[in-house]
Amino acid sequence: MERRSVQWGVLLAVVLLATVLRVYQLKAVPAGLFCDEAALGYNAWAIGTTGMDENGKYFPLFIWSFGGYKNPVYVYSAIIPVKLLGLDEFSLRLTSALFGVGTIIGIFFLGRALFTPWVGVFAAVFLAVCPWHLHFSRIAFELISFPFLFIIGLTLLVRYTEGRRTLPAAMLLFGLCLYAYAIAAVFVPLFLIGFALLYLPTLLRRWRESLLGLAALVATVAPAAIFLYVHRQLSTMYFRHTTNLDTSEGLRALAQRFGGYYLQFFSRDFLLNHGDPISRHAVRGFGELLPVFIPLLILGAVVALLYRNRAPKLILWWLAVYPVAPSLMNEIPSASRGIIGVAAFCLLAALGLAAAFRVLGWIGHWRPLALALQAAALVAVGHVLVPEVLRYWKVYVNDYPRHSAPTYRGFQYGYRDTIQYMESRRADYDLLMLTETEGNQSQIFPLFYNHVDPRVWNAHHDLGYLVLDPAEYSRYSMNQRILYALRPSDLEVFSDYKVLKRIVAPGGEVEFVIAEVRARKHFLTNWLVLGTFLNDNGKGVDRDVIDWRQILPQFVRVDLDSFFAFADPRNPGNAEHVCAYAALMVRSPSAQRAFLEVAGSRDIMRAWLNGGALTPAPILLNEMPTRRPIDLEAGGNLLVVSSCKTFDSWYFTARITDASGRDVPDITTAPGMPEEPIVAVAPAADTSLQVVEGFGSILTFKHTDEKYPDYRGGARSWWAHVDDAEGEVTWRTAPCPQKKRTIFALTASMSEAPGEAELFVNDTYALTFKLSDEPGTHTWESGSYRATFVSKGAAAGNSGILLLEVPPEQITVGQSVQIRVVLAKAKEDSWFMIKAYQDTLAHEHVTPAAAAEMVHATWQSRAN
């Protein structure tokens, strides 16, 4: 009786500890509120208040939201705290905390039913402080209800194996798991198959009760099965969008991939080092379990295997099947989809600790000695466990909010403060707007924070906010007073605005700028497009020209990815390794100097104005605008750009501005081509500059190859490697005909591994340039020396042409120049290579004017 009182006392202390850990600062940590949390909370509040969900359905079985069905267990459970405390982050997440605490109580009874009360106590302790379970007990994700229902059901199932009549109740709870989390549809049947094989004689002997249990399971599951079958087009959408299965791969390849994913759920990296890679699902630098669990897990597994009772084998089967469903999906390994495994790990570790205590009890035949040994062991475990828990908790409370809060990749911090401020200013504006840039289901947040009556919402579908990417000019007009919550980068589309408030995340990032916007910049949107052309060889043309097609000017971004996904039947979906052309007419009332400003995804672009190249070498775009001066002729001007996709997204923006970055007011644009052919005017020759072949003969090197691959195919090559004792390569150029400023053009390759190399001219240090796999054009300068590398393609490294400008004092008429490259700051496997080509000028059509423009980098970044 005394021992039982101690066990109940310890359990009570564990429950109190678990409650504190799960409720402390629950509204503020995690910082922010993810859209899935907001959807569960709003629907719980809406159904609890009116009986109607966000779609106007009364007391629905499953709730449709964000392109998938949300399960009812969490939503209907959350109604009580939300009704009692009001809808906010705390009342919503309190449901998760209560499910978490309930699971801890449940695992005590399960451990007691399977083994001994002390196994139950130890399992409750481990689950209470386990990072995996603690993390999801503080987030309003529906998955947390799944372990609770399953553990209670399993406890009843174990009692059934001991002779009690609890099988129907157990089956009812297992059936309810299907209403808690979608993964249960795979895990629960697999688990029950294992149970049936272990206890087949028992099930057959007690066949009436078995039939009753089966009937309870079928009756519980039937409504969900019927609902999901009737709505099968929608109910399977989530799995179709998240599965990694590709039936075209073949059974062998699928099995190998599945096996690799499955093993990751037992990997050291997942369980101990880093956990789930998604910031919402785990704390950076911590695994899903605590390191102290591992030796106890191993001991527990051995004990479970040796246990004569069949019931402990259920825990091993539980662990064996928990990764099956998550391994069929993306985001591997996933702590959220594998949540059902955490209790099994804790239960097995508790069995290991209890076994160790029992062994110590056998060693100490004298009871005081046995108790002393067990107490010492408990102190030893606590000495390891407590610091691990404290370290995790300190990072979770203090550091985790800083890196998990920002943007849609984290907890979407800032919507509460943003909406509260904008509501306070509503009377001053005609329109309130929320950006959808880097957003994820932003429309749910006004519903959540403003407690919008679902009857009003379904009748009018008016959030009180227009949720829109500000670049989508066609959807809103500036002839009204607008208050806009924007990402900082969104300000780039406006020419006149006033920032009223900044919403700053815990890590210092500005999440939103709330601004009064008054005028927008004029972007070039009336483009005709031509393509796509395969670009596997880096040249961008593989077939005859097709007709130009107009891209709808809905956004200021020219979204080539989206356009060709629908417009080009040869490349459905998101095409890769392709190029396209875009053209429009720019009409100017008079000849004038202006600037062409471009930005976009990290892709390669070239541009021409009236047939003249604005990019003698391709440039690599990014989000920061870059620009160069242009001369517009009076009347029509043909602007053409080519863009070659290199990364995931594929778009660009373009503007014509004055020198200060303001719109040029008197120009217009139109889709179309000139009626008369455009004749390009060659730029005037620069008589102060000569171009010379940059390679004549090799002098010193460490490595050579007769035909090392490059963008031209391959040629004799010499190179220096970072591992060389003296990592350098030296060569001579062709003779210089005149003593003047000279640009040497040569073909070279560099490693994809980053590093730096120093370049010497006639044994004089000239400049330092970087080794990189970046496409595009890169320029470095120091004093009178300039170097430009124009990437031409990835061929056994980053292959292209190197242009080196040298001052006249280094030139001797009729003699070559000696060039030496020395690897300076370089990482492992960095190298630089010179090629034996002596016709780079002719092959690349490098004229003095083109070389000068490439080296002098006429494209410049513009400060915001």
Residue 2: strand, helix, or coil:
helix
Q: What is the dihedral of CA 248, 252, 258, 259, to 10 degrees?
A: -170
> What is the CATH T-level fold of the domain 689-861, as seen in this structure?
Jelly Rolls (2.60.120)
DSSP per-residue codes, 370-402? HHHHHHHHHHHHHHHHHHHHHHHHHIIIIIHHH
Supply 776's token pair.
């595009």
pLDDT band at 857 (very low <50, low <70, confident <90, very high): low
Instruction: Measure the CA–CA gap between 283 and 277, rounded to whole angstroms.
Output: 9
Decide: 502 and 510 in contact? Cβ < 8 Å.
Answer: yes
Mean pLDDT for the chain overall: 91
Through-space distance between the first and last CA atoms of the chain, rounded to whole angstroms? 75
* Rounded (10°) angle between helices 72-85 and 89-114: 130
- Write the burial class of residue 71 (CB in 10 Å: 0-12 exposed, 13-18 middle, 19+ buried): buried
* Rounded (10°) angle between helices 207-230 and 167-177: 20
Decide: 513 and 486 in contact? Cβ < 8 Å.
Answer: yes
Instruction: Measure the CA–CA gap between 851 and 816, rounded to whole angstroms.
Output: 19
Per-residue confidence (pLDDT) for residue 379, from 0 to 100 = 83
Report the 10 Å Cβ neighbour count for 207. Answer: 9
Q: Which amino acid is at 115?
A: F
Instruction: Measure the CA–CA gap between 331 and 487, rounded to whole angstroms.
Output: 27
Per-residue confidence (pLDDT) for residue 681, from 0 to 100 = 60
The position carrying tokens 């910031």 is: 279
Could you tell me where in the chain the CATH 2.60.120.260 domains are found?
689-861
Residue 501: strand, helix, or coil:
strand
> How much is the average pLDDT of 612-629?
87
Per-residue confidence (pLDDT) for residue 765, from 0 to 100 = 96
What contacts 672, CB < 8 A, 6 or more positions away?
528, 584, 585
Decide: 483 and 430 in contact? Cβ < 8 Å.
Answer: no
Q: What percent of the chain has pLDDT over 90?
A: 72
Closest CA to 173 of 211, 212, 221, 108: 221
- Taking only the tens place, the pLDDT of each residue in 406-423 is 988 899 999 999 999 999
DSSP letter, residue 142: G
Which three-class secondary structure string do you get for 779-840? EEEECCEEEEEEEEEECCCEEEEEEEEECHHHCCCCCCCEEEEEEEEECCCCEEEEECCCCH
Evaluated on CA atoms 354, 355, 357, 361, the torsion sign reads positive
Per-residue confidence (pLDDT) for residue 685, from 0 to 100 = 61
- Taking only the tens place, the pLDDT of each residue in 701-724 is 989 999 999 988 899 999 998 888
Task: State the DSSP H helix or E strand holding residue 125, giving kind and residue range, or none if neither.
Answer: helix 117-129
Residue bearing the bigger pLDDT, 468 or 7: 468
Domain 528-670 has CATH 3.30.420: no
pLDDT band at 538 (very low <50, low <70, confident <90, very high): low
Ranked by mean pLDDT, the top range of 25-34, 62-71, 838-847 is 25-34
Phi, psi angle pair for 510, to nearest 5°: -80, 110
Instruction: Measure the CA–CA gap between 504 and 830, rounded to whole angstroms.
Output: 40
- Write the burial class of residue 350 (CB in 10 Å: 0-12 exposed, 13-18 middle, 19+ buried): buried
The position carrying tokens 């227009």 is: 466
Omega before residue 446 within 30° of 0, cis: no
Per-residue confidence (pLDDT) for residue 864, from 0 to 100 = 41
Instruction: Measure the CA–CA gap between 384 and 378, rounded to whole angstroms.
Output: 10
> How much is the average pLDDT of 347-369?
82
What contacts 39, CB < 8 A, 6 or more positions away?
54, 65, 66, 70, 441, 444
Instruction: Measure the CA–CA gap between 593 and 589, rounded to whole angstroms.
Output: 12
Least trusted range by pLDDT, from 1-10, 223-232, 447-456, 618-627:
1-10
Strands 482-486 and 431-435, by their bridges, are parallel
> How much is the average pLDDT of 267-274?
95
- Taking only the tens place, the pLDDT of each residue in 650-672 is 999 999 999 999 999 889 999 88
Decide: 696 and 731 in contact? Cβ < 8 Å.
Answer: yes
- CB neighbour burial string for 106-136, b if at least 16 within 10 angstroms, e if fewer: bbbbbbbbbbbbbbbbbbbbbbbbbbbbbbb
